[in-house]
Every structure is written in structure tokens, then in C-alpha cells.
Amino acid sequence: MKNETPFIDKNEFLFIGGPCAVESSEQMKAILSLPFGPSVIRGGIYKMRTNKNSFQGLGIVGIELIKEIKKSHKLSFVTEITDPRQIDGLLPIVSCFQVGARNMYNYELLKELGNYQVPVILKRGFSATISEWLGASEYLQALGQENIILCERGVRSFDNKLRNLLDLGSVIYLKKNTAFKVIVDPSHAMGDRRYVSDAAVAALAAGADGIMVEVHPDPDNALSDGQQSIGPEIATELVQKIKELAPHFNKVLRV
């Protein structure tokens, strides 16, 4: 059955926060207990890692963990899907699938996701042009445009000062030339927690419909991407700043 409620409503600025990887029940409950009470949580169950010896995610154990948390907490859960064989296991816990940058070109995965009528966040590939990114979105067209969210997460460049080059020009272009909702992942774009909040505010100014930020209760001890994860204090300050600024851009913060 088609999801008739848009994942992001018109004039909303959606804050999606949570850890790169789900690690434990305690970790997730700590995120849920933050002062701003995030209602849309991101967290990796299956992780695609460049180094095969890095933490690959909890897998089935993580699915059961989120099922238990959802019994006592009202939340929307966003997680990356890396393989069509994961769909059936993830369906009971997800409100929105995330297709990561590495899988933007995985057209068989995209076509399969189009059969389930669950919203999909489609991240831009590392070196993808805007046209290639939009081409990939066409494989999801069965979902309806309201259920396809494009996510700018930075592209590779010749510079090495930051993890990636955040292309806010893509946000501006897409908002002026398409009807898609567009969000920004400042965590992967910047790769350093010191710069994430500023990039998030810039995304709001560029016309984005939301941000997806890596938030961890103890970033220095995160099992994945701790260097770009912000802690509770910075996350709370960021939410407050966006709440104050959003009306100036005809947006209302949803967190």
C-alpha cells in the first residue's frame, strides 16, 4: 500500500539525527533522551565499510534491538540498505530506507525498492553528476516523487582538507528545477565534527528540506565515524540555532 503521507511536508526542515551505526540499546536510548527529543532517528544496521576489518554493523541483532526500542518509544527510523536480501528483515522497523553513495548506481537494488512503497533517501554518489543522480532516481519512480528524497553528501575533489566537497550548488539547482525534496548530510561532507554545524546551517540557507546528521552520545568512542559525529551538547545547540533561523527561510523545523 502506498504511503500517502510525505516523509517531509512542504515548508518543513527535517532534522534526522543519530549514530552512524547502531551499537547498543543504551546508545539509542541516550539519543532519544536528548533535550530536543528527536523523532526521526538514523542508525546503521548494515554498514558498507572500505576496510573489511572495520565494524560492519549489528545486522539481525540490530534489527531486534530497534524492534524492542520501538515498543516503548515513538520514532521514525531511517537506515541504510545495502542488499535487496535485507529488505524483508528491515521492513518492520524502517520508516524510510537510505541508499548510500556506494549504491547510487546499484540499479537492481533501486528497482527492487520501488516495489515496497517505503520512502527512500537516495544519496549522491562520490563522483556522480547531477544528471547521473537524477537518472538513478528514475529507477525509484514507482514510489512517486513525494517518496523520493535526494541527499547531497559531498563529492570527491582534488583537495584533502575536508572529507568531501559539499556541493550546495546541487541543492540550489535541484530545488529550482525539480520537485524533489532535497536534504544534506553535513557529517559525511565535512568529515570533521568541528565543521558540521556550520555546514548544516548553510544547507538551510541553500534551500534544503532537511539535514541528516551523525549524533553520538560519546563520539570519541563511536564504532563508526566518530570523528565526524557531534555530541549531545553540540547537537542541542545546532537544533536551537536552526529553530531560530528556519522561519527566515520560510521553513519550520521538525525534529
CATH of the domain at 158: 3.20.20.70
In a domain, 236, yes or no: yes
Q: Which H helix or E strand runs over 12?
A: strand 12-18
**pLDDT averaged over consecutive 10-residue blocks of the chain (255 residues)?**
71 97 96 92 88 83 97 96 96 97 97 96 98 98 96 96 97 98 98 98 98 98 96 98 98 97
In a domain, 5, yes or no: no
DSSP for 81-139 reads: --SGGGHHHHTTT-SEEEE-GGGTT-HHHHHHHTTS---EEEEPPTT--HHHHHHHHGG
In a domain, 196, yes or no: yes
In a domain, 98, yes or no: yes
The size of the chain, in residues, is 255
In a domain, 159, yes or no: yes
In a domain, 6, yes or no: no
User: Max CA-CA distance within the chain?
Assistant: 47
pLDDT score at 56: 80
Q: Is 204 exposed, middle or buried (0-12, 13-18, 19+ CB in 10 A)?
A: buried
Number of folded domains that form the chain: 1
Predicted model pTM: 0.95
In the chain, the amino acid numbered 243 is: K
Domain that holds residue 216: 12-254
Q: Which H helix or E strand runs over 26?
A: helix 25-32
In a domain, 39, yes or no: yes
pLDDT score at 54: 75
> Nine-digit cell at 30?
541516550
Q: Tell me if 210 sits within 8 A of 13, measured CB to CB.
A: yes
In a domain, 137, yes or no: yes
